Structure 1
């Protein structure tokens, strides 16, 4: 099976596995992350196919979260991701490096539940590309759209002055509002990017987040007459 054919088959397998995942972690998200990861990998002198394979199996824990109603770490769904690779007939030599790379995607230095360990050396470079691709899809115009789609799906308000951004570090799961999520996580992603190409793309996407938040704050003040209840400036 060709690389393109293998990816199409893997996409079909994963689409069925993630049928219950939330709107911000759908197959469209996987397509974007796969494309970004492959581009970043090629820029880093790596195999874009391997990076794309890792991207397509990096969110099995999201379906588990929807099913179980709690935060699930990627490591908890390693067997599910491995089964998808098997069903899609991906070369077995790629499985463990790919799965190691997947487990590194949810680690942030600013997280209150940060996991210091990283992937093994065989997966480290691919992990960096996958990690950056996943972060980039949470930034810029796409990240803004995803944040509000997810917030709407779980009933979060746009902004709640009574629930300001937490100062205790990012924790996975619902936040007080979508705008609070920007401050707790999205604005911090630029500092987490690991590849040169990812950091280059991240600058533009970070600027879009800041511009949106400035406009949202200005419009909140327009509507409420003062800035006492407005979200913090970016």
Structure 2
């Protein structure tokens, strides 16, 4: 099986797993992350393994513990799938290391994992899809799917969160999510191109928040 056949199989596997997602992590999100990861990889001074970057971009949400009931089972299934399409043991380990460690919640742990360059590219691509115009839409969509409050000026954004606290949606509002995560992502970008793209999207979110709060108070 050649690389193009492997990537086609990965794409089909991901589409099957994610096509029914209703939280903003569906196959449309996956396709944008893949496209952005390819863009970032093309603009890096160091070369990366195309198979690893694109596969990890496709598969990055497959075993996410906020999306699946049994992450360990999903990860085990992923390993078997990659083996079935002739990924080597080293390639499987590289892909899983990325998919297992790129989420924002991992950065809240005491010893955040260190990603390979391929992992940093995929992480930037995923984070870029969480900010800007698309990021605003996805934040509202995700919050609605989990019955979050849109905004309450009396509830202040949480600081210095642990992973457990961050995942507790009972203490979050959709607007506070911008301050607790989304506005932090610009400064967490790994790649030069990622930083450049994030800057414009950051400004769009800040403008949105200013307008939102003005309209909330009836001042716009």
In 2, distance between residues paired with 1:3 and 1:155? 42
Contact 1:140 1:209 in 2 (8 A): yes
1:1-234 alignment runs, 5 A limit: 1=1, 3-18=3-18, 21-44=21-44, 45-62=47-64, 65-68=66-69, 77-90=74-87, 92-107=89-104, 111=108, 113-119=109-115, 124-169=116-161, 171-174=166-169, 175-222=171-218
Note the aligned Cα RMSD (angstroms): 2.7
Given that 1:23 and 1:153 are in contact with CA atoms closer than 8 Å, whether structure 2 keeps it comes out as yes
Map Cα deviations across residues 182-210 of structure 1 (whole Å, 9 max, x no partner). 11000000111000111011111111111
Counterpart contact for 2:63–2:100, Cα < 8 Å: no
* SS of residue paired to 2:217: helix
Select the structure with the greater relative contact order (CA < 8 A; seq sep ≥ 6).
Answer: 2
Structure 1 residues 192 and 162, CA, compared in 2 at 3 Å: closer, same or farther?
Answer: same
Range moving further from structure 2, 13-22 or 128-137: 13-22
Q: Please list every run of 5 or more consecutive structure 1 residues that lacks an aligned counterpart in the other structure.
A: 226-234
Secondary structure of the residue that 1:156 maps to in structure 2? coil
Provide the secondary structure at the position in 2 that maps to 1:30.
helix
Contact 1:160 1:176 in 2 (8 A): no
Q: How many angstroms apart in 2 are the aligned matches of 1:77 and 1:192?
A: 28
Number of residue pairs the alignment of both structures matches: 214
2:14·2:58 contact (CA, 8 Å) conserved in 1? yes
